[in-house]
Structure 1
Amino acid sequence: MYVASVRPTNRVRGHLRGKVPGTVLALGTVSLLTDVSAEMVTAFMPVYLLFTLQMGYAQFGVLDGLYTGATAVLRLIGGHVSDRTHRHKAVAATGYGLSAATKLLFPLVGANAFGIGATLAADRAGKGLRTAPRDALISLATPAPSLGTAFGVHRTMDTIGALLGPLVTFLLLQQIGMVAGPVFVISACFAAVGLIVLIAFVRENRTRSTPGPRPSIKAGLALLKNADYRKVAILSATLGLATLSDAFVFILIQKSTAISPSYLPLLPLGTALVFLLTATPLGIVADKIGRWRVFLAGHVLLLAVYVLLLAPNSGYLGMAIALLLHGLFYAATDGVLSARISTLVPESLRASGLSVVQTGQALARLVSSVAFGFLLQFATFGTAVYSAVAALLIALVIAWRLP
């Protein structure tokens, strides 16, 4: 059984408690630029696939699940390779570069569903490679008592990009109409600049000797022998099974509030703005009262979003409340979970430990998207939403009752 040592090492003793290292700020800038790119595509896809290509919800659910789940296996590979080689930055750069390149493929595949699916998978494969090494860089540069704060600051900067991406897409569509090419080309440019910032400004310590066992696939999976780590991995995956993707949440908000579909690309702005304002404060709160408590509380807020979707024709007020709660859900869960995991694994397996939990979540959300897409396609709107409410409520009860 491997239990992490969470005492600050020589690399971080120089930092005052609560101070955010320069590595975190540089990675935040990379994520900001990359998220402008990614969220441009995310905001465009529902409108493009459902209203332009006239895909059904079941087909959309499969593509959306692929978009989420394609990161799964490569998260494990990215985590293992970066731990094994002690080159977290190089592995992260490979992932960022792959995602940037795929943006230029979208205009070439046109309306071909298979081509769109393959390109989405390649894009998410890049995300899978980069996520664990990036989070490892953050955690290894930050004193353990300040991990929630550091991840909160990073997610705040990341969310500035998530805020700008849909806005750029909306303004483009207002000017040029439903033309896909310029959206993807501009998205690729933002991704390329983010990669340049990573290469030029992010620094890492390549010390070959780090506390903990020698990195290997077996050692990474052996982390599950640690009871606390195992519970976090299993329960986060269980909650992931009951978590609808952002795309479906925004589609359901549009349908339940009866606002115009033309506003669909703007809905991520509401979630991103709330996330931007609350990620750092909630990271600080998580450091003080417990990261797992805040993580579960975030899912209670998500449950409230699902319940609110059952109110018919709630209009702009219902939309605003749903987006507020959705943004708070992300602020309470995204970086907070990574901070919690980081205290449970040794430095030598930091990226591997993060990737195992993230892989479980990605696979669970793949199943969730596919299942909900078929449910929305072949059942009534109310039945689909009630099912989502019931699934998340059951998952929360299971997670809450376990210590």
Structure 2
Amino acid sequence: MYVSVRDIPHGTGPTTRVPRVVVVLGLVSLITDVSTEMVTAVLPLFATLALGLTPLAYGLLDGLYQGATVLVRLLGGFLADRLRRPKLVAGAGYALGAAAKLMLLPVTGAGALSAAVAVDRAGKGLRTAPRDLLIATAAPPDRLGRSFGVHRALDATGALLGPVVAFGLLALAPGDFDMVFVVSFCAAVLGVLLFAHRVPEHHTPEHGAGEHGTSVPHSGARPISLRGIAALLRIGGFRRLLLAAAVLSAATIGDGFLYLVLLRGESVTTRWFPLLFVGTSLVYLALAVPLGRLSDRYGRNRVFTAGYGLLLCAYLTAILAGGIAGAALCLVFLGAYYAATDGVLPAAAAPLLPAELTATGISVVQAAVAGGRALGAVAFGAVWTTAEGDAAVWTFAAALTAALLTAVPMITRAHDRRTEVR
């Protein structure tokens, strides 16, 4: 019989170190992110310079980039819980991401680019919740933040290397985006192979943690129903966390847009544009594990909302501080924001959920964030089209301030399960 790490007493082996499967999944994410971030780093330039898209058109594309994952995230979480085969579902998502890189090669217009982006984001949406379920069930409760932090740190390493590779390829062959896309596809295939051969199949735990840290018996072969999924919203702490995450994400600006603001303000030049992604990832890599451990000790909800305060600082820095120093400070705030939110959010949600719906619940939260970011991207593109870039950033800075004032009281009321690091 499989024994969940939730059932292992504190102080025994697995609680003293990050489980092996977390590290392997982190390496898979590292390789996959090298592939993805190579494309992400050149996408704003490819769309606006090579294809000639307007800020509004790019905003719609960026909105699609975020929004395409919403329903698929929910589907991925649902299938992982329903089939009890999260590895199978996540593997399909990684394969879709690889296929999307090939679709970029014949792109000559906005329609084909949108299709490739949609497939790539669908793959990401499908794999995210099942992968996070594998992490959540492997990690002991008092190390959830740290385990997600380790995974996100390895993920950030890939996000750091991807733009560097893209920068090097474009330095060798300026304007040759097809070369970037081919190398990106090869890296994606390598990630799929590593996942297929080195990640063990998941076994559903016998018990999970409920909203108050109590053990919830596993329901055996009971099918997952829509009524059961809707019942997640009756978990008070989870509901408030979900609403707060949705409100905050709707006031976010996509990284590509923020980097374009720095480019338009002449803080950086086109040649160095891909390295902006490197700077953000470098800060993320440095802070993911420390902030994950901080969230385990002092409260995941607190660290999560503080992350959006750091994002607000990034907005203000982008429009108030000029030159290389201003751009560097903006990247520090942006990377810290990701380190405080990306892995901390699923770590905050997982202990609130029954075992048989953990992947579904995580996917609901992540879908709300993706949906909010999609709306924000379209809105920001529309504002920028009718006003200057700085005015659009000021508008979103005000919106994020209002969102924080709304979300902080809401989220601090949510049950924040704290555990002492022993």
- What CA distance in whole angstroms lies between the structure 2 residues aligned with 1:285 and 1:13? 19
Aligned pairs for 1:226-305 (under 5 A) are: 226-305=235-314
Q: 1:192 aligns with which of 189, 194, 202?
A: 189
State the shift of 1:83 in Å: 0.6
Moved more, 331-340 or 373-382: 373-382
- What CA distance in whole angstroms lies between the structure 1 residues aligned with 2:205 and 2:404? 41
Q: 1:55 aligns with which of 53, 62, 81?
A: 53
Q: 2:147 aligns with which of 146, 150, 158?
A: 150
Q: 2:127 aligns with which of 125, 130, 145?
A: 130
Query: Judging changes above 3 Å, is the alpha-carbon distance between structure 1 residues 98 and 390 closer, same or farther for their aligned structure 2 residues?
Result: same
Q: Are residue 333 (structure 1) and residue 341 (structure 2) matched?
A: yes
State the shift of 1:12 in Å: 9.7
What is the letter of the counterpart of residue 200 of structure 2?
R
State the shift of 1:222 in Å: 1.5
State the shift of 1:14 in Å: 5.5
- What CA distance in whole angstroms lies between the structure 1 residues aligned with 2:88 and 2:205? 15
Q: Is the 8 A contact 2:267 2:326 kept in 1?
A: no
Question: How big is each residue's C-alpha offset from its partner over 1:45-70, in whole Å with a ceiling of 9 and x where there is no partner?
Answer: 01111122221100000001101110
Q: Is the 8 A contact 1:170 1:266 kept in 2?
A: yes
- What CA distance in whole angstroms lies between the structure 2 residues aligned with 1:207 and 1:237? 29
Moved more, 77-86 or 252-261: 252-261
Q: Secondary structure at the match of 2:301?
A: helix
Q: Is the 8 A contact 1:76 1:359 kept in 2?
A: yes
Query: Judging changes above 3 Å, is the alpha-carbon distance between structure 1 residues 303 and 202 closer, same or farther for their aligned structure 2 residues?
Result: same
- What CA distance in whole angstroms lies between the structure 2 residues aligned with 1:15 and 1:384? 51
Please give the root-mean-square deviation of Cα atoms over the aligned residues, in Å.
1.7
Q: Are residue 388 (structure 1) and residue 388 (structure 2) matched?
A: no
Aligned pairs for 1:301-380 (under 5 A) are: 301-311=310-320, 314-380=322-388
What is the letter of the counterpart of residue 352 of structure 1?
T
Query: Judging changes above 3 Å, is the alpha-carbon distance between structure 1 residues 396 and 82 closer, same or farther for their aligned structure 2 residues?
Result: same
2:407 match = 399
Q: Secondary structure at the match of 1:55?
A: coil
2:68 match = 70
For normalisation by structure 1, the TM-score amounts to 0.95
Q: Is the 8 A contact 1:76 1:352 kept in 2?
A: yes
2:212 match = none
Q: Is the 8 A contact 2:51 2:110 kept in 1?
A: no
Q: Secondary structure at the match of 2:36?
A: helix
State the shift of 1:177 in Å: 1.2
Identity %: 42
Q: Is the 8 A contact 2:5 2:139 kept in 1?
A: no
State the shift of 1:10 in Å: 5.5
Paired residue total: 396
- What CA distance in whole angstroms lies between the structure 2 residues aligned with 1:87 and 1:279? 28
- What CA distance in whole angstroms lies between the structure 2 residues aligned with 1:12 and 1:64? 44
- Segments of 4+ moved more than 3 angstroms: 10-16, 207-214
1:216 match = 225
- What CA distance in whole angstroms lies between the structure 2 residues aligned with 1:371 and 1:20? 40
Q: 2:86 aligns with which of 82, 85, 88?
A: 88
Any gaps of 5 or more consecutive residues in structure 2? 208-216, 414-422
Question: How big is each residue's C-alpha offset from its partner over 1:205-247, in whole Å with a ceiling of 9 and x where there is no partner?
Answer: 4248553454233312320111110000011010010011111
Moved more, 217-226 or 295-304: 217-226
State the shift of 1:377 in Å: 1.1
2:210 match = none
- What CA distance in whole angstroms lies between the structure 2 residues aligned with 1:208 and 1:323? 40
- What CA distance in whole angstroms lies between the structure 2 residues aligned with 1:155 and 1:239? 21
Any gaps of 5 or more consecutive residues in structure 1? 1-5
Moved more, 177-186 or 204-213: 204-213
Query: Judging changes above 3 Å, is the alpha-carbon distance between structure 1 residues 323 and 151 closer, same or farther for their aligned structure 2 residues?
Result: same
Q: Secondary structure at the match of 1:118?
A: helix
Q: 1:201 aligns with which of 186, 198, 213?
A: 198
- What CA distance in whole angstroms lies between the structure 2 residues aligned with 1:35 and 1:11? 35
Q: Secondary structure at the match of 1:20?
A: coil
- What CA distance in whole angstroms lies between the structure 2 residues aligned with 1:382 and 1:46? 18
1:3 match = none
- What CA distance in whole angstroms lies between the structure 1 residues aligned with 2:244 and 2:204? 34
Question: How big is each residue's C-alpha offset from its partner over 1:130-179, in whole Å with a ceiling of 9 and x where there is no partner?
Answer: 00000000000010110000000000000110000000000000101111
What is the letter of the counterpart of residue 122 of structure 2?
A
